[in-house]
């Protein structure tokens, strides 16, 4: 290149650079969070662990939130991970969602992720949440969120130690009808409340199966990592039925018909009666397979009765609760347009009670939004680790009562059964290495 050409190029370059510096730079408004978009620095980077059928519902609930960016999913089942990737990629119009199959490697590699959606089966909820919080992630975990009292304690300790935000998926604590019922109880409008009724699942039993399904040929590890699927549970032969939801009803994997819906309804009742930080102290054995009509008692004198309610006497729909006091009763369940009440005049203040609750607590009527807001503010969620653990303790104690076929007394301060070594042994389960807390 000649000297003249070189100088001309340099002069041209300098002129163009000066012109560019003087001209206004046109930058998309989305970079600064304008134009209805959230700036990248303000977005919550979200990932998933074990996102299946229920988890896909949660994911679709989260994706429309403008401050969420879902970037990766981890699952020992390849087909499930691919379905989640398709959901995310379709939503964003790209192919960016990444797939992982090994949870420890996933957590170690993705240091960019702020929060995780944990929607595995029951057996993995607590362990995955603990691993995630140790890795610095906030957690939204589906219910039932622990398999034992010891697991619940570990979730509470981990969240506190690592200062993590945690929400268990008892979403009815963030719905208007149930909030109204809780506020009717809390504000004394039902008079002296003596009984609350909690819906338990009208299928399966409290006494679960201890056998296992027949062995089938193990698929390739890159399709189903069976060891990872089992996680902390005892080794069992592979059977595809387990991976399609057939783990329910098995002691190794499930929390029984009591845990299935009680994880929701016990939380609703206990938060409503102001007992979200404790557990029932007495459990009365009932001679049936499910725990239907079991009476549990709290230190505040209120009885909580477990109800299958097959004849819709107390509530219709699923996951119903009913609160009964000296001045009347209220009830709600899924599918209600408004709560059932003993006196129609009680509904006159429906909007006011729900509004006052939101103003007092600064919580929205959206469980997912409550979680996301708390990830940013670092305030406690409505279904925080203590609420999860204490209400699941009541679930586990009710199960243990049914398994031992006798009445039990529980000390919620010491978190142990009173003078009952056999019952206390059920507070924990052996965990298979390396999948341990």
Q: Please tell me the distance from the alpha carbon of residue 185 to that of residue 280, in angstroms, as a whole number.
A: 18
Contact yes or no for 72/48 (Cβ under 8 A): yes
Q: What's the whole-model pTM score?
A: 0.91
Set out the domains of the chain in order of their start, with CATH numbers. Answer: 31-171 (3.40.50.720), 172-207+254-425 (3.30.360.10)
User: Which pairs with CB-CB distance under 8 Å and at least 24 residues apart come from 308-316?
Assistant: 308/199, 308/200, 308/201, 308/202, 309/197, 309/199, 309/202, 310/202, 314/197, 315/197, 315/199, 315/340
The DSSP secondary-structure symbol of 412 reads T
User: Which pairs with CB-CB distance under 8 Å and at least 24 residues apart come from 174-179?
Assistant: 174/363, 174/364, 174/365, 174/366, 174/367, 174/369, 174/370, 174/382, 175/365, 175/367, 176/350, 176/354, 176/365, 177/332, 177/336, 177/338, 177/339, 178/268, 178/321, 178/332, 179/353, 179/354, 179/357, 179/365
Question: Which of these, 371, 369, 391, lies nearest to 165 by C-alpha position?
Answer: 371
| Distances 182 to 284, 301, 334, 369 between C-alpha atoms, Å | 25, 17, 15, 20
Per-residue confidence (pLDDT) for residue 36, from 0 to 100: 58
| Distances 72 to 48, 75, 84 between C-alpha atoms, Å | 6, 10, 9
Q: Please tell me the distance from the alpha carbon of residue 422 to that of residue 405, in angstroms, as a whole number.
A: 12
CA 403 to chain centre: 26
Contact yes or no for 272/310 (Cβ under 8 A): no
| Distances 277 to 142, 414, 419 between C-alpha atoms, Å | 20, 13, 23
Contacts of 117 (CB under 8 A, 6+ apart): 46, 47, 48, 49, 51, 55, 58, 59, 62, 140
Contact yes or no for 196/396 (Cβ under 8 A): no
Q: What is the pLDDT along the chain (437 residues), one digit of tens a residue?
A: 433 333 434 444 444 444 434 444 444 444 445 455 788 888 999 999 999 999 999 999 999 999 999 999 999 999 999 999 999 999 999 999 999 999 999 999 999 999 999 999 999 999 999 999 999 999 999 999 999 999 999 999 999 999 999 999 999 999 999 999 999 999 999 999 999 999 999 999 999 999 999 999 999 999 999 999 999 999 999 999 999 999 999 999 999 999 999 999 999 999 999 999 999 999 999 999 999 999 999 999 999 999 999 999 999 999 999 999 999 999 999 999 999 999 999 999 999 999 999 999 999 999 999 999 999 999 999 999 999 999 999 999 999 999 999 999 999 999 999 999 999 999 999 999 999 98
Q: Please tell me the distance from the alpha carbon of residue 49 to that of residue 77, in angstroms, as a whole number.
A: 11
């Amino acid at each position: 290149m000649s000297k003249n050409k070189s100088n001309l190029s340099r002069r041209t370059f300098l002129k163009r650079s000066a012109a560019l510096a003087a001209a206004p730079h046109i930058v998309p408004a989305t970079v600064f969070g304008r134009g209805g978009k959230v700036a990248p620095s303000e977005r919550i980077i979200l990932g998933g662990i074990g996102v299946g059928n229920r988890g896909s519902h949660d994911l679709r609930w989260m994706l429309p939130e403008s401050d969420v960016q879902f970037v990766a999913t981890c699952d020992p089942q390849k087909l499930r991970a691919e379905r989640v990737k398709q959901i995310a990629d379709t939503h964003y119009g790209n192919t960016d969602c990444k797939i992982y199959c090994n949870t420890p490697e996933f957590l170690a590699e993705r240091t960019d992720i702020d929060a995780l959606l944990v929607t595995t089966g029951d057996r993995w909820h607590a362990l995955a949440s603990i691993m995630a919080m140790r890795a610095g992630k906030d957690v939204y975990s589906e219910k039932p969120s622990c398999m034992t009292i010891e697991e619940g304690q570990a979730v509470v300790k981990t969240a506190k130690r690592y200062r993590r935000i945690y929400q268990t998926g008892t979403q009815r604590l963030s719905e208007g009808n149930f909030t109204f019922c809780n506020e009717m109880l809390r504000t004394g409008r039902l008079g002296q409340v003596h009984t609350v009724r909690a819906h338990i699942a009208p299928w399966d039993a409290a006494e679960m199966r201890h056998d296992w399904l027949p062995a089938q040929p193990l698929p390739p590890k890159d399709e189903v990592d069976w060891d990872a699927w089992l996680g902390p549970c005892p080794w069992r032969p592979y059977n595809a039925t387990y991976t399609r939801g057939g783990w329910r009803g098995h002691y190794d994997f499930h929390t029984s018909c009591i845990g299935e819906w009680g994880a929701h309804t016990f939380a609703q009742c206990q938060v409503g009666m102001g007992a979200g930080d404790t557990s029932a102290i007495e459990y009365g054995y009932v001679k049936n397979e499910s725990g239907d009509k079991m009476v549990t008692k709290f230190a505040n004198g209120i009885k909580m009765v477990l109800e299958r309610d097959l004849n819709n006497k107390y509530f219709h729909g699923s996951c119903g609760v009913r609160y009964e006091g000296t001045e009347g009763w209220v009830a709600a369940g899924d599918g209600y347009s408004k709560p059932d009440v003993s006196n129609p005049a009680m509904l006159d203040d429906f909007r006011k009670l729900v509004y006052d609750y939101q103003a007092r607590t600064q919580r929205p009527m959206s469980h997912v939004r409550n979680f996301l807001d708390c990830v940013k503010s670092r305030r406690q969620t409505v279904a925080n680790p203590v609420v999860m653990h204490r209400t699941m303790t009541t679930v586990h104690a009710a199960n243990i009562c049914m398994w031992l076929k006798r009445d039990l007394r529980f000390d919620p301060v010491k978190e142990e059964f009173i003078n009952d070594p056999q019952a206390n042994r059920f507070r924990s389960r052996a965990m298979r290495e390396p999948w341990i807390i």
